[in-house]
Homo-oligomer: A and B are copies of this chain.
């Protein structure tokens, strides 16, 4: 198998700049659990980017960020409305239900994006004690299938949420790719667009581990530190998460990395869209390409490049580009796919 494939952006390693920052932080003692200068500086960078009134907490994983963020947005009798394809619905092994006790209400969508229209079906039975009370709308930006919400689309959802006394959560595991795709400051489609709590991801874009929970609506941050510990997401040597985030934002590394990944996905899309027997299924707006390919090609291709089947029934596959994907990686993969397809 090749050294780099298209399986997932978290199959990639650590960005060299970030690894260097870890090394630089490795001097002497630092008070554990976040009371250190690296954590403090990283928090300051987030506040500068989003506003001094936000609250910032570091956790280990994207699942941890989502679950603990949601937990602070409601109580166990609430429900969370999300796309059927949402990570919290299909890829967290029930962690949200287990920790928060909340009910997840999935919505079928063509493109992974929620709209008022497709949410509405779940907006009923308010005040009726037999029914889980809708409490949170959760969106992923970019979505799990590579599409991106515009700032206006986010705003529409947050207005709707707030008008109905719900909150809006954003799973930003790949938020850098959304910034690179939209070409606007991250604040524009998050805090300014009314997002209440944001899972801000780094691991899929060059970090080693570590994500941030941003309480853009700081009233929701109450008691979070206790839940983080009880949720097993409190890092002892937290300085190393802080140091990574500092390097992540330094010199716009996060945007450079994400832009490159997005560009590689565009290249992959351009080069495959006209290949016989290949059908691209989603608009490519971030770093993922989704395609239906002949069933018999899948194992052959996987022998050379590992990637995941997204939908076993339709033979839809997912190809993810990463910050370190090269043009050559893409062209060799395309050439192999083209060859295999022509030989069918």
Q: Which of A6-14, A181-189, A260-268, A280-288 contacts B (4 or more CB under 8 A)?
A: A6-14
A63 CB-CB contact with B under 8 Å: yes
A25 to B208, CA, bound (A): 11
Contact check: which of B4, B101, B312 meets A97 at CB < 8 Å?
B101
* B contact residues around A62 at 8 Å (CB): 236
Residues of chain A at interface, number, CB under 8 A: 79
Distance, CA A14 to CA B21, complexed state (A) = 13
Nearest Cβ on chain B to A51's Cβ, whole angstroms: 25
- The stretch that binds B, out of A151-159, A219-227, A290-298, A332-340, is A219-227
Contact status B101-A240, CB under 8 Å? no
**B residues in contact with A190, CB < 8 Å:** none
Binary contact track A293-319/B, C-beta < 8 Å → 1, others 0: 000000000000010000011000000
8 A Cβ contacts from A46-80 to B: 60-64, 67, 75-79
**Chain B residue contacts of A129, Cβ below 8 A:** 33, 93, 225-226, 228-229, 234
Q: CB of A3 within 8 A of chain B?
A: yes
Q: Which 6 A-B pairs have the closest CB atoms?
A: A77-B226, A3-B28, A98-B101, A93-B229, A10-B236, A11-B29
Using CB atoms and an 8 Å cutoff, list the residues of chain A in contact with chain B.
3-5, 7-8, 10-14, 19, 22-23, 25-33, 60-64, 67, 75-79, 90-95, 97-99, 101-104, 106, 121, 124-125, 129-133, 203-204, 208-209, 223, 225-237, 240, 306, 312-313, 322, 324
- Add 14 more A-B contacts to A19-B22, A77-B226, A209-B237 (CB < 8 A): A4-B28, A5-B29, A10-B236, A11-B31, A63-B232, A75-B223, A76-B98, A76-B230, A78-B94, A93-B132, A98-B231, A129-B228, A208-B240, A209-B209
